[in-house]
Amino acid sequence: MEGLESIQKDAQKELEKISNLKDLEAFELEFLGRKKGRLTAVLRSLGTLSDTEKRKVGPKAQILRKDLEGAIKEKKSSLKRGDIDSRLEKEKIDITYPGLKDPRGHLHPITKVRREVENIFGAMGFEVASGPYIETDFYNFDALNIPEEHPARDMWDTFWLKGMTYALRPHTSPVQIHYMEKHNPPFRIIAPGRVFRQEATDASHDFDFWQLEGLMVGKNVSVKDLKYVLETFMSKFFGKKVKLRLRPSFFPFVEPGFEVDISCVACVAKGCSVCQKTGWLELLGAGMVHQNVFAAAGYVRGEYTGFAFGVGLDRLALMKYKIPDVRHLRTSDIRFLKQF
Ligand SMILES: [Zn+2]
């Protein structure tokens, strides 16, 4: 039979070293375990002793058992307290610590330019109109006086949808027709929006881009109004006095039609690399709305006059922010976008 002294000595020594609940459990098993506990073995063997021996060892063993049970209980609660203390230490919250800021993005350059354009035209009484991306032949071409043999109707320029009844709009002009079908003049609208053309991309062309169209219709709208509105818009947009130059040109939906050049905003018409030393930049197509277009929209032929113009919203953004490649606008490259 193992002596009580050695059990007590070992227990004392081991208990001091215990620093976690798991070790404490093992300790309890070693000394007080029901099957193999060292003290349990002593207690169990008391029955084999003589009465004298029993009276001598029995009470001592019982006292030791009580002591051990008490020590284990105390150790257990102190270890648990320690656990809570260290958790509190770890989970301490410093309420004076500055908060983490969520990274915030900003508007895309195209959106910025679109909003600015809308503000400038809005101040001149222009309403913003919009329309669907998918259109029929009628809105894409027929109503705009674009005859069937016009190259724009070639399927290599337009994204046709299955069956060729519908196509992605290759320009924003269908918006004009939709608007005129529902409104009577006088009115002034702009239609900024995405358009789609089936063509190869390069630094100045993309197959998915933004256009801006304008339309003003009334009783006596003339080329003078067109020139005034565009000159005012360009000067405000580029933040400097911009001059306009109109050159005769052909677009099916206008008569007469013009190519509109603006004085170079990079060199102020002195001649530089941007304008190829001419002092002028080709920027817009414009003209007086063809009476066939009015008729297609349901107006009485000859009752109204109006002007229309179209310009690449992308192009305006490239010029404003000096972006060398139009494709940057749609790459979603964060290094590019961060610059605006
Ligand atoms: Zn220039």
What is the per-residue pLDDT across 73-123, written as a single tens digit (0 to 9) for each? 998 988 888 888 888 888 888 888 888 888 888 899 999 999 999 999 999
| Res 146: pLDDT | 87
Banded pLDDT at 155 (limits 50, 70, 90): low
Average pLDDT over residues 127-151: 90
CB 204 within 8 A of CB 178: no
How many Cβ atoms are within 10 Å of 224's Cβ, its own excluded? 10
Two tokens at 81? 């307290």
Average pLDDT over residues 28-52: 89
* pLDDT for residue 156 is more than 60: no
* pLDDT for residue 150 is more than 80: no
What is the per-residue pLDDT across 174-218, written as a single tens digit (0 to 9) for each? 999 999 999 999 999 999 999 999 888 888 888 899 999 999 999
Catalytic residue numbers read 156, 171, 197, 211, 254, 308
User: To the nearest whole percent, how much of the chain has pLDDT over 70?
Assistant: 98
Fold adopted by 109-337: BirA Bifunctional Protein; domain 2 (3.30.930)
What is the CA(154)–ligand 1 centre distance, in A? 35
What is the CA(38)–ligand 1 centre distance, in A? 100
* Rounded Cα gap, residues 248 and 244, in angstroms: 13
What is the CA(231)–ligand 1 centre distance, in A? 17
| Res 245: pLDDT | 94
| Res 152: pLDDT | 60
Query: What residues does each domain of the chain span?
Result: 4-90, 109-337
268's torsion region: left (phi>0), alpha (psi -120 to 50) or beta? left
